[in-house]
Amino acid sequence: MNWRAIGSIYRFEMNRTFRTIWQSIVSPVLSTVLYFVVFGSAIGGRIDTVEGIAYGAFIVPGLVMLTLLQQSVANASFGIYMPKFIGTIYELLSAPLSFIEIVIGYVGAAATKALMIAAIILLTASFFVELRIAHPVWMVAFLLLTAISFALFGFIIGIWARNFEQLQLIPLLVVTPLVFLGGAFYSVSMLPEGWQAVTYFNPVLYLISGFRWSFFGVADVPVGISVAAIAVFLFVCLAVIRAIFRTGWRIRP
């Protein structure tokens, strides 16, 4: 394993983040705080508790997961798309690097940036509501698995995209709506039975449900299913990336 090369890719991506700190870190944190203020104040004033949990605290895991998914996908997709766009990806492919080392560098940096923002949001939320974490080890595990899985997914999007419009297509039209419809701001038990059945087909529901369980010990689906869903998604993304590098799909002329 060429750790020096991995470290070079990782440091390059992290340095890009700190060069654009307002866009990379401050902007998503401010956006999430506005979500928290609007939903926590406006809707929280009408909904006292959900499953025995104050509504302001109940939505915190959903807000963290919303930001984590968006940032993991966005950072990884942009990170690998730019070398394609400016042509430096050929230097990367000609270097003595395996696809695993390239993926670790880009995905590791994207996941790190997303986790940093998630940690800042959790810290910020603690000033607004009283948070308790029932299962801290599981909370960290869900954060890590989700960040890595969706950074891998973003890496695939970055390779697939032919232009900046396609780069934003799936995050805006697929990922964000799935999060909003996946129980980020409500419990599935609050929906009519027909809509509950439809919601269970939303894969993001299992991520949010498991993450919320790590805080409050309540979940819309069994925790084991949530962990299995993340693991399956992670391995599928790895298999797709391996196939991309083996065939050269959209990374070689």
The per-residue pLDDT for range 140-155, each reduced to its tens digit, is: 999 999 999 999 999 9
State the pTM of this model: 0.92
Are 76 and 151 in contact by the 8 Å Cβ rule? The answer is: yes
What percent of the chain stands above pLDDT 70?
97
| CA atoms 212, 217, 222, 228: torsion sign | positive
Rounded Cα distance between 145 and 228, Å, is 11
Average pLDDT over residues 121-146: 90
**Measured distance CA(244)–CA(251) in Å, rounded:** 8
Q: What is the pLDDT of residue 75?
A: 92
Indicate the SS3 state at residue 47.
Answer: coil
Q: Is 50 helix (H, G, I), strand (E, B) or coil?
A: strand
- The identity of residue 99, as a single letter, is F
38 vs 34: CA distance, rounded Å: 6
> pLDDT value at position 247?
92
Mean pLDDT of the chain: 88
